[in-house]
Amino acid sequence: MAELIGLEQLMSRGRLPGHPVALREGGAVGFATLVARAAGWRAAFERHGGRRQALYFDDTFEFSAALLGAWHAGVCVYLPADAQPATLARLRDEVDGFAGKIPAEYAPLSPSEGREGGWTPLSPEARALVVYTSGSSGEPTAIPKRLRQLTHEVATLAALFEERLGEARVVSTVSHQHIYGLLFRVLWPLTAGRPFAAHGLTYPEDIVAALRQGPAGLIASPAHLKRLPDMLDWAQVRGNLRTLFSSGGPLPLEALQACRALLGQAPVEVYGSSETGGIAWRQRTGDDALAWRVMPGVEVGTREEMLTVRSPHLDLPEGDWLRTEDRVRLLPEGFELLGRGDRLLKLEEKRVSLSALERTLLEGGLLREARVLPLEDGHRLTLAVVAVPSEAGWKLHGEGGKRALNQALRQQLTSRFEPSAFPRRFRYLEAMPVNSQGKSTEAALAALFDPRRPRARVLEQSADRALLILEASADSPYFEGHFPGTPILPGVTQVHWAIHFGRELFTLPPDFLRLAALKFQRVIQPGTSLTLELTWKKERGSLEFKLTSDAGVHASGRILFGGVNV
């Protein structure tokens, strides 16, 4: 195993030029390349002069070089979870500049010529990073981190798990744009001198292919682990899986069982959050209800049943505890998680527990998953439900219509809640919208209620093709004024919907380039039920769409995307 070098000293001490840092299709990228790229990024950040820079990259090696270059230029790195237009627009007020795979209108920096050497150790006290959580209020909350918090976390991981990994490479389904991915697939490997894959794994097939190439540690999230198809040839490759990590959310029992059966081992589950850092871990090899073990250096306690934490992963005044939103029972060997604290909200002066509403909605057996969220509705706050119906739920939906299911759910709430707490709006989906960390962010859920978004149901979806049903409902704002008396859906809206769902279902490059072979064959009138077929040809950057209905084909065309491929 290579020598452990803390992040502060990594560049000033260095490693051998050929020491493998990252793995790309072509082979290993050596430490000398990392130093050269980091020097270029350092020069670019120094020239720009802004102390707050947002980084968004697909390629984890290039991201690492930019991160190190930024830190050595005295820059605080802001890490957005995605590069969606709304995210970037909000970041614009918080940062001085952008770098990476970001649309040209944000003038992202690229590495420039500059001095090569002159690396000095970084200060552990440096304000190194700002990450974001999906806050329960809807707006993401910024969480600043000092460099020492990150190096402490990495040291904790190395102390606990270094030996399990040995000479393995690190591969991941989790993005480095999130703190879990950043620590496990970038900062820890850099410190340990262990190569990491520059590209993330998107599909289960990618995991199999990555394991076929040799010994690896897999950084994963429940989102992937609960969707492992059993028809893939796991038995042939699982011998190469040294260790499997799962974090970012609770690992459901069926996912744990799938890991044991298909991958031949239980994942090392890590419990913590962007705000708290790592708190505890466990590996449920045999016991499904095994307690969480507190990480070395971390102390836990309780206040009003809620877990409290004191740890070097936090930046709090001496002696202060951080209170989490998780209810726990402390045990001699660690603790047991009892669920989230009730999310309380005031609706027209009345306190409502969103968690209690969700539990009650699930109790009737009509839903498999349910999230309740507050929405601004005119000048009052009302509640909305995003849910995945069960078989019984879809049956009711099919027979009695959406309203029948709405009514049945409201009926379940009558005995326990006041009418003011009843959800007003409902969206039923085949699966919850999740990001690569397996979380359904409040923003993604709220977007389902945007009046500009047509009601949609995904019928089929694969890596390069999707089939949806869209309702061009009469109340869509796009029919207003287009045209008075004879409303038809504008062509630009049809293209917009294709791009919108293309971005939801595939990872499209940031920049729209042009349209090709665009045809509008038949007008779309209010109340039309449309089928949207999307085909994503990644190598050509081309999103093909076709809108049809019972009347025939309405429109089709190709939308071409591109952007800085870093």
Partner 1 sequence: MLQLEQEIKKLVIETLHLEDITPDDIDPAAPLFVEGLGLDSIDALELGLALQKSYGVSLANDSKENRRHFASVRALADFVSAHRKA
Angle of helix 60-72 versus helix 31-48 axis, rounded to 10:
50
Residue 325 CA to chain centroid, in angstroms?
A: 20
Measure the CA–CA gap between 373 and 368, rounded to whole angstroms.
17
Nearer to partner 1, 141 or 420 (CB): 420
Among 359, 402, 453, 500, binds partner 1 (CB under 8 A): 402
Among 137, 420, 462, 565, binds partner 1 (CB under 8 A): 420
Among 403, 496, 514, 540, binds partner 1 (CB under 8 A): 403
Which string of x and - marks every residue 421-440 that binds partner 1 (by CB under 8 A)?
Answer: -x-xxx--------------
Nearer to partner 1, 279 or 384 (CB): 384
Site for partner 1 contains 561 (CB under 8 A) = no
- Beta pairing, strands 334-340 & 322-331: antiparallel
Which residue in 541, 548, 488, 482 sits closest to 516, CA to CA?
541
Among 26, 319, 419, 485, binds partner 1 (CB under 8 A): 419
Nearer to partner 1, 375 or 564 (CB): 375
Provide CB contacts within 8 A for 144, sequence distance 6+. 76, 127, 129, 130, 315
Angle of helix 391-400 versus helix 402-413 axis, rounded to 10:
120
Q: How far is the CB of 407 from partner 1 (least distance, A)?
A: 8
Among 285, 414, 462, 565, binds partner 1 (CB under 8 A): 414
Which residue in 484, 500, 496 sits closest to 444, CA to CA?
500
Is the CA virtual torsion 430, 434, 440, 441 positive or negative?
negative
Measure the CA–CA gap between 48 and 133, rounded to whole angstroms.
28
Site stretch for partner 1 (CB under 8 A), options 63-71, 326-334, 416-424, 434-442: 416-424
Which residues does residue 64 pair with via DSSP β-bridges, in sequence order?
Answer: none
Residue 123 structure tokens? 């200060």
Is the CA virtual torsion 513, 63, 206, 448 positive or negative?
negative
Q: How far is the CB of 428 from partner 1 (least distance, A)?
A: 11
Q: How far is the CB of 414 from partner 1 (least distance, A)?
A: 8
Q: Where are the alpha helices (DSSP H) in 238-305?
A: 253-258
Nearer to partner 1, 303 or 403 (CB): 403
Nearer to partner 1, 210 or 413 (CB): 413
Site stretch for partner 1 (CB under 8 A), options 84-92, 179-187, 410-418, 457-465: 410-418
Site for partner 1 contains 410 (CB under 8 A) = yes
Provide CB contacts within 8 A for 279, sequence distance 6+. 271, 272, 292, 294, 295, 298, 300, 307, 309, 311
Q: Where are the beta strands (DSSP E) in 62-126?
A: 76-79, 97-100
Which string of x and - marks every residue 338-377 that binds partner 1 (by CB under 8 A)?
Answer: ----------x----------------------------x
Residue 280 CA to chain centroid, in angstroms?
A: 21
Nearer to partner 1, 420 or 521 (CB): 420
Q: How far is the CB of 394 from partner 1 (least distance, A)?
A: 16
| DSSP state, residue 454 | P
Q: Is 26 helix (H, G, I), strand (E, B) or coil?
A: coil
Q: What is the helix (H) or strand (E) element at residue 171, kind and residue range?
A: strand 169-172
Give the binding-site size for partner 1 (rule: CB under 8 A). Answer: 17
Residue 564 CA to chain centroid, in angstroms?
A: 21
Q: How far is the CB of 205 from partner 1 (least distance, A)?
A: 39
Q: Is 102 helix (H, G, I), strand (E, B) or coil?
A: coil
Q: How far is the CB of 403 from partner 1 (least distance, A)?
A: 5
Nearer to partner 1, 407 or 462 (CB): 407
Q: For residues 276 and 313, is the Cβ–Cβ distance under 8 A?
A: yes
Provide CB contacts within 8 A for 336, sequence distance 6+. 289, 291, 292, 328, 329
Which string of x and - marks every residue 232-271 that binds partner 1 (by CB under 8 A)?
Answer: ----------------------------------------
Site stretch for partner 1 (CB under 8 A), options 50-58, 103-111, 401-409, 477-485: 401-409
Q: How far is the CB of 503 from partner 1 (least distance, A)?
A: 25
| DSSP state, residue 109 | B
Site stretch for partner 1 (CB under 8 A), options 94-102, 413-421, 439-447, 556-564: 413-421
Measured in residues, the chain has a length of: 566
Other Cβ atoms within 10 Å of 350 Cβ, number: 11
Site stretch for partner 1 (CB under 8 A), options 35-43, 63-71, 94-102, 398-406: 398-406
Q: How far is the CB of 406 from partner 1 (least distance, A)?
A: 6
Site for partner 1 contains 503 (CB under 8 A) = no
Among 418, 430, 450, 464, binds partner 1 (CB under 8 A): 418
User: What is the binding site for partner 1 (CB under 8 A)?
Assistant: 348, 377-378, 380, 401-403, 406, 410, 414, 418-420, 422, 424-426
